[in-house]
């Protein structure tokens, strides 16, 4: 069997954590999906050891316009936010993804008292960045994909994504 070539690889790069603050149900839309706006005004974005450019930023604004498919099997993430680096620069960050709505995930979005942290494996997505800091411009010119999870804790909910840089293959068939 011939080994497949030309596929990209992934390099661990960034961990983002946003804290859910308020929930604003919008209701059923024209396409039958149900939308809820989740405010995520605080959190952190931080590069992992070994990833360059290295940086840390605090989330100062964020919200997810999350929609749920009519069959309740998937959720559609549409998170937008602003973070400030420790050097004072702003980062516009965006996250679009899909959540497999397993029973454990439904418990969280239904605010079931028995809800608990949902592990990685239910949410995947893509991330984009707009930055003013010249040292972080590579973020704008790169592609990032992620796994996500929802942490349930005494202060509420935190959405965590672990993002990897997509590295283009140089191997040809």
Number of domains in the chain: 1
**Residue 147 covered by a domain:** yes
In a domain, 124, yes or no: yes
82 part of a folded domain: yes
Per-residue pLDDT, 2: 66
Regarding pTM above 0.95, the answer is no
- Is residue 172 assigned to a domain? no
According to the model, what pLDDT value does residue 112 have?
93
1 within domain boundaries? no
Residue 33's domain comprises 9-167
Q: What is the CATH number of the domain that holds 157?
A: 2.40.160.20
Q: What is the pLDDT of residues 11-69, one digit of tens each?
A: 999 999 999 999 999 999 999 999 999 999 999 999 999 999 999 999 999 999 999 99
Residue 2 maps to a domain: no
Q: Is residue 4 part of a domain?
A: no
pLDDT tens, position by position, 62-85: 999 999 999 999 999 999 999 999
Domain membership of residue 15 (yes or no) is yes
Average pLDDT, the chain: 95
Alpha-carbon separation of residue 84 from 5, 43, 46, 93, 164 (angstroms) = 39, 11, 11, 11, 21
Give percent above pLDDT 90 in the chain. Answer: 92
- Asked whether residue 135 carries a pLDDT value surpassing 60, the answer given is yes
């Amino acid at each position: 069997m011939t080994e497949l070539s030309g596929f990209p690889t992934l390099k661990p790069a960034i961990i983002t954590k946003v804290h859910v603050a308020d929930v604003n149900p919008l209701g059923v839309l024209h396409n039958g999906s149900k939308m809820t706006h989740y405010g995520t005004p605080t959190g952190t974005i931080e590069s992992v050891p070994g990833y360059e450019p290295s940086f840390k930023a605090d989330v100062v604004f964020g919200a997810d316009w999350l929609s749920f498919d009519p069959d309740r099997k998937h959720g559609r993430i549409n998170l937008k936010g602003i973070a400030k680096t420790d050097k004072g620069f702003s980062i516009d960050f965006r996250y679009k993804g899909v959540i497999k709505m397993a029973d454990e995930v439904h418990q969280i979005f239904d605010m079931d008292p028995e809800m608990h942290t949902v592990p990685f494996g239910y949410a995947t997505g893509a991330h984009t960045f707009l930055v003013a800091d010249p040292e972080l411009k590579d973020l704008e010119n790169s592609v990032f994909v992620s796994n996500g999870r929802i942490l349930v804790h005494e202060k509420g909910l935190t959405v965590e994504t672990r993002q990897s840089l997509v590295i283009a293959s140089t191997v040809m068939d």
